[in-house]
């Protein structure tokens, strides 16, 4: 079994987009009415010729599936709006996973706001994991979209970590839309967040307080693998922990869109800390004209890399089951 830990519902039904547009106009559309407006056939059709087809064509079996990342829009300050939007988005993702249980497992959008909305975040994390069977959640380290908040190591985040430990679910670090035109959402903001969060963790003792907490940093960790020596040097200079000490709790996905990038990632990060991911259908679509390979066909890059069978199995299957233990339970239940 080949497991892709990073996919998004970027082909969501039109009524969901209309629901969001109504919210942003200041209306209060009904989550229940939205559910009734989208048929099960519409849910199936939205992924059958898209994410599911591509997953199968490339040789994958199962995808961890979450709402559109840029659509989370945590910069919108109203907590009630955020709560309803997260519920609506997560319910749609849940219906995908229920329609294709052998191929999709759900990961939650949390109703974060610039002020935190901690009560709403905790309630939605509990609901999606305990009631709907979600296997993880995305956590935005910058709900403001302008980097005006506190780092992920600040105590204001601790209640989320306590609940994540209790539920035994990992958190994927994933920002949403950039609200600063200096930082392109897909080309700068996402990768900046991955890099910045790793640095925040390096300077902290967060995992001594939360030893069971697990973060997945997407997009190959941003600049982290390329500058591993810088992090080691800074750690020695400032008497911080060595970056390797974070690897009991921090994992990286393989959503890197060229062969040299994948090769570097495999050389720097231990196989035990890498999880196969494509992020499709997401940031980059189409094929590299020089190779003919789809940009986000990261499985082809892994196949072309030099690795032994145990490393291949770890990166494409075993690590996902270890980092996402509720996924292992779900797979067993679906199989039975």
Catalytic choice (279, 294, 309, 311): 279
Dihedral angle sign, alpha carbons of residues 80, 81, 82, 84: positive
Alpha carbons 217 and 250: distance in angstroms, whole number: 7
In this prediction the pTM is 0.96
Q: In terms of pLDDT, which residue wins out, 336 or 12?
A: 12
Residue 282 above 80 pLDDT? no
4: exposed, middle or buried (Cβ count in 10 Å: 0-12, 13-18, 19+): buried
Contacts of 72 (CB under 8 A, 6+ apart): 86, 89, 109, 112, 138, 140, 176, 177
Per-residue model confidence as pLDDT tens digits over 226-281: 999 999 999 999 999 999 999 999 999 999 999 999 999 999 999 999 999 999 98
Residue-level pLDDT at 181:
93
Residue-level pLDDT at 215:
98
Classify residue 145 as left (phi > 0), alpha (psi -120 to 50) or beta.
Answer: left
Instruction: Let me know if 279 is a catalytic residue.
Output: yes
Q: Which residues of 93-123 are buried (b: 16+ CB within 10 A; e: fewer)?
A: bbbbbebbbebbbbbbbbbbbbebbeebbbb
Residue 306 above 90 pLDDT? no
Classify residue 112 as left (phi > 0), alpha (psi -120 to 50) or beta.
Answer: beta
- Paired tokens of 73: 């829009």
Can you tell me the mean pLDDT for 314-330?
Answer: 98
Alpha carbons 186 and 295: distance in angstroms, whole number: 14
Residues above pLDDT 90, as percent of the chain: 96
Query: CB of 145 within 8 A of CB of 75?
Result: yes
- Paired tokens of 63: 């995808």
Residue-level pLDDT at 283:
79
Per-residue model confidence as pLDDT tens digits over 21-65: 999 999 999 999 999 999 999 999 999 999 999 999 999 999 999
Residue-level pLDDT at 109:
98
SS3 of residue 71 by DSSP: coil
When pLDDT is cut at 50, 70 and 90, the band that residue 208 belongs to is very high
Per-residue model confidence as pLDDT tens digits over 95-138: 999 999 999 999 999 999 999 999 999 999 999 999 999 999 99
Residue-level pLDDT at 329:
96
Residue-level pLDDT at 284:
86
Residue-level pLDDT at 285:
85
Residue-level pLDDT at 133:
98
Indicate the angle between helix axes 51-58 and 40-48, nearest 10 degrees: 40
Dihedral angle sign, alpha carbons of residues 77, 81, 83, 86: negative
313: exposed, middle or buried (Cβ count in 10 Å: 0-12, 13-18, 19+): middle
Per-residue model confidence as pLDDT tens digits over 69-90: 999 999 999 999 999 999 999 9
Mean model confidence pLDDT for the chain: 97
Per-residue model confidence as pLDDT tens digits over 133-174: 999 999 999 999 999 999 999 999 999 999 999 999 999 999
Query: CB of 173 within 8 A of CB of 193?
Result: yes
> Could you give the count of Cα atoms lying within 13 Å of 230 in the half-sphere of its Cβ?
8
Residue-level pLDDT at 53:
96
DSSP letter for 137, please. Answer: E
């Amino acid at each position: 079994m080949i497991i892709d830990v990073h996919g998004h519902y970027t082909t969501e039904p039109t009524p969901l987009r209309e629901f969001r547009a109504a919210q942003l106009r200041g209306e209060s559309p009904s989550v229940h009415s939205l559910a009734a407006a989208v048929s099960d056939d519409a849910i199936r059709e939205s992924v059958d010729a898209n994410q599911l087809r591509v997953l199968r064509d490339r040789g994958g079996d199962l995808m961890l599936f979450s709402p559109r990342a840029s659509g989370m829009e945590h910069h919108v300050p109203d907590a009630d709006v955020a709560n309803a939007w997260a519920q609506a988005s997560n319910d749609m993702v849940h219906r995908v996973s229920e329609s294709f249980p052998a191929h999709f497992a759900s990961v939650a959008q949390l109703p974060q706001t610039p002020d935190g909305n901690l009560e709403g975040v905790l309630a939605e994390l509990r609901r999606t994991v305990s009631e709907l069977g979600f296997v993880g959640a995305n956590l935005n380290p910058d709900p403001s979209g302008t980097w005006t908040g506190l780092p992920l190591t600040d105590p204001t985040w601790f209640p989320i970590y306590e609940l994540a430990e209790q539920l035994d679910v990992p958190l994927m670090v994933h920002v949403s839309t950039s609200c600063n035109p200096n930082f392109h959402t897909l080309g700068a903001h996402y990768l900046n967040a991955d890099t910045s969060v790793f640095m925040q963790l390096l300077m902290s003792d967060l995992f001594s307080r939360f030893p069971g907490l697990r973060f997945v940093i997407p997009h190959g960790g941003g600049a982290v693998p390329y500058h591993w020596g810088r992090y080691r040097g800074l750690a020695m200079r400032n008497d911080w922990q060595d970056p390797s000490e974070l690897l009991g709790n921090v994992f990286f996905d393989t959503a890197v869109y060229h062969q040299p990038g994948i090769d570097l990632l495999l050389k720097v990060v231990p196989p035990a800390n890498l999880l196969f991911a494509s992020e499709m259908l997401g940031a980059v679509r189409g094929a590299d004209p020089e190779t003919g390979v789809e940009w986000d066909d990261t499985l082809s890059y892994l196949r072309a890399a030099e690795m032994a069978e145990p490393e291949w199995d770890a990166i494409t299957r075993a690590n996902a089951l270890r980092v996402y233990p509720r996924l292992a339970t779900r797979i067993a239940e679906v199989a039975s």
